[in-house]
Amino acid sequence: MKKIRCALIGSGNIGTDLIYKIQRSEVLEPVWMVGIDPESEGLARAREMGLKTTAGGVDGLLPHVLEDNIQIAFDATSAYVHAENSRKLNALGVLMIDLTPAAIGQLCVPPVNLRQHADKLEMNVNMISCAGQATIPIVHAVSRIQSVGYAEIVASLASKSIGPGTRANLDEFTYTTSNAIEKVGGARKGKALAIINPAEPPMIMRNTISCLTDEEPDQERISASILEMIGEVQKYVPGYRLVNGPLFDGNKVAVFMEVAGLGDYLPTYAGNLDIMTAAATRTAEMFAEEILAGKIQLPAPEVA
Amino acid sequence: MSQSNSLKGRKVILHDMCLRDGMHAKREQISIEQMVKVATALDDSGVPYIQVTHGAGLGGNSLQHGFAPHSNEEYISAVASKMKQAKVSVLLIPGLGTMKELQSAYDCGARSVHVATHCTEADTSPQHIAFARKLGMDTSGFLMMAHLNDAAGIAKQGKLMESYGAQTVYVTDSAGYMLPEDVKARIGALREVLNPETEIGFHGHHNLGMGIANSIAAIEAGASRIDGSAAGLGAGAGNTPLEVFAAVCERMGIETGVDLFKLMDVAEDIIVPMMEHVVRVDRESLTLGYAGVYSTFLLHSKRASERFGVPARDILVELGRKKMIGGQEDMILDTAMTMAKERGLLKSA
């Protein structure tokens, strides 16, 4: 079967894990890995895995986009360079899946709103953050039953799973996730907290989601909705698991989740990495299927 | 007595925590009026730095950490406008607080900040430390749960914070676990690697009754800033009681610039009557110090214990075993529920 050819930008933890996910896809093929340091381990690993590489940043990729028929790019760099990367690649007709917290495009959490994006061609789709992918489905599972005035999520992440980019830009993570809890999760106000824990052996990613409903929560319906949603996420992240709850306390609903990864690049504790790359891959696959079926057509490249 | 002589004439800057760390001990329920009253009295006692706001600092108002009756901005504005000499400071834990909140705290009158990370995660603080310096704030890097990193590791993390712009690096004994030798080793290692103009601070908790002794050990090893709190009002068994520490300093000839008797009066006449429970070393707060658990977990564990029937001490020991760190208060309820299931006190979902 024909596959849509992809470029990965950023050779850190996320970019490397993406190679594994995309190589398993029936509709996507990883072709290029873009880095900025010729000596980087990430680029060397990508070469070993059969990808073409450049250390010249996105500009090093641009001359090859048309000849290699690159149609989807994944950006796992930083919020600061994403806008420029996106502009340059969109101009060549490449659809951008954004894994940085830049959030200049439409926000996507697959089990919540992937279908909406499928119906129209988005040239830039943002995956929010690992914590967003792990918690927003639950917020939505509550808010689709009863209105939620406030939702708060706490993500605990193993220190070894957090790369230098995220560390140096924690505020962008906080702002983007909080905003998406509102825009995608459906809470009127959202707040995101992140904790990086260095325990050895590394702790598995944990997420606590708390929602304040306007009216007294309908425990039965909310519990059923949450369990159904967990099943939806498990379709692409099998290690997404309910540990405790839902715990009802007045108008508060609290859910205690754990996310174990597949152990592709980093070990299974790094569920945060997996839920992000798996969600991005699923999103790209949906667009790829539409492109392959001729339902959507990428714009022709602007000739310079 | 060569030791006390060696500290004679040393100058130490005191930083009061009772209106920030003390919020934990008050379940975040200190009113604006109380805060202004305490801060004004501390200012009058000559305490040079006074930290205020929610116990978890900027961004702290949350289901995770509790809601205070007023916004951080309201507390800072109310206190800052009344200060004659003291600088108002705040706490910012990246991942919880953000630069937007720091800007807003500055606009309300805060002029000093502790930018806090877990003791191995200093590299989550560069943007906040740099931003605080840009605002012209007195900027400290604050390495929490410092017992969980060795002296060489603390030195490395402190050096990172200095490289981002921190003017002071703190060793923070959040669990009240450290003994004087632990404090000396870490502060000594920092002193060796930091630039001479970079100050070193120590923030103690009194869970093993070592607040004063640890702070003195810190000064001996090169610290020049000490956090404490009037009457010890703070998380766990409280912070280093500031008036006691000031008295010890006076005996040793360490210069703090505070009026001891006035500070004693603040503790006795204002703070003690405010306490909801006597902040002291009791079975649970001792467990924090003994097991190396974040002091703020104390009241959360007591509440989880009441709800799920698992003794608070058992929960705290388990949290210590699982190496939970500051900010993971949600894991207290989670751990209590898991333990209750194991003990047949709660049915599995």
Mean pLDDT of each 10-residue bin along chain B, 349 residues long = 70 98 95 98 98 98 97 98 98 97 98 98 97 98 97 98 98 97 98 98 97 98 98 96 98 98 98 93 92 90 95 93 93 97 85
Chain A residues with CB under 8 Å of B100 CB are 171, 175
Question: What are φ and ψ of residue A187, in 5° steps?
Answer: -85, 145
**Residue A145, Cα to own-chain centre: how many angstroms?**
25
CB contact under 8 A, B64 and A152: yes
Q: Tell me the pLDDT band of A80, cut-offs 50, 70 and 90.
A: confident
Q: What is the largest CA-CA distance in chain A?
A: 61
Q: In this structure, what token pair is assigned to residue A290? A: 């539409």
Share of chain A above pLDDT 70, in %: 99
State the Cα–Cα distance between residues B323 and A199, nearest whole angstrom: 6
Report the pLDDT value the prediction gives residue B333, as an integer from 0 to 100. 95
DSSP B7: H
What's the complex ipTM? 0.93
Q: Which residue of B has its CA nearest to A252?
A: B63
Check A175 against B327: CB less than 8 A apart.
Answer: no
Flag whether residue A174 sits within 8 Å of chain B, measured between CB atoms. yes
Instruction: Give Dmax over CA atoms of chain B in angstroms.
Output: 64
- Phi first, then psi: what are they for A241, rounded to 5°? -140, 140
Whether the per-residue pLDDT at A121 is higher than 90: the answer is: no
The alpha carbon of residue A153 is apart from the nearest alpha carbon of chain B, in Å, by 9
Cα B81–Cα B225–Cα B114 angle in degrees, nearest 5: 55
* pTM score of the predicted model: 0.94
CA distance A155 to A153: 6
Residue A203 DSSP symbol: P
pLDDT at B6: 84
Question: What pLDDT, in 10s, does the model give residues A229-258?
Answer: 999 999 999 999 999 999 999 999 999 999
Choose the mutation target among A138, A161, A174 for the interface with B, i.e. most B CBs under 10 Å.
A174
Q: Does B120 contact chain A (CB < 8 Å)?
A: yes
Number of Cβ atoms within 10 Å of the Cβ of B131: 23
Residues of A in contact with B165 (CB under 8 A): none
CB nearest B334 (choices: A150, A159, A244): A244
Is residue A139 over pLDDT 70?
yes
The letter for the amino acid at A97 is I
Q: Determine the 3-state secondary structure of B233 from DSSP.
A: coil
Instruction: Mutate one of A129, A161, A167 to test the B interface: name it (highest B CB count within 10 A).
Output: A167
Task: Give the pLDDT confidence score for residue A303 in this predicted structure.
Answer: 60
Name, in order, each residue with C-beta under 8 angstroms of A126's C-beta and a sequence gap of 6 or more: A98, A102, A103, A104, A105, A106, A107, A108, A176
H or E segment at B44? helix B32-44
Smallest Cβ–Cβ distance between A174 and the set B98, B121, B324 belongs to: B98
In a mutational test of the A interface, the residue from B93, B330, B338 whose CB has the highest number of chain A CBs within 10 Å is: B330
Q: What is the pLDDT of residues A279-302, one digit of tens each?
A: 999 999 999 999 999 888 888 887
The rounded distance, in Å, linking the Cα atoms of B189 and A204 is 32
Provide, rounded to the nearest whole percent, the portion of chain A with pLDDT above 90: 88
pLDDT at A1: 72
Question: Is the four-CA dihedral A115, A121, A127, A128 of positive or negative sign?
Answer: negative
Q: Would you call B349 an interface residue with chain A, using a CB distance cutoff of 8 Å?
A: yes
**What is the residue-averaged pLDDT of chain A?**
95
Say which of B62, B325, B338 has its CB closest to residue A195: B325
Q: What b/e string do you get for B73-99 counting C-beta neighbours within 10 Å, with b at 16 or more?
A: bebbbbbbebbeebbbbbbbbbbbbbb
Mean per-residue pLDDT, A11-31: 96
Rounded CA Rg of chain B: 19
More confident residue, A1 or B15: B15
The pLDDT assigned to B5 comes to 55
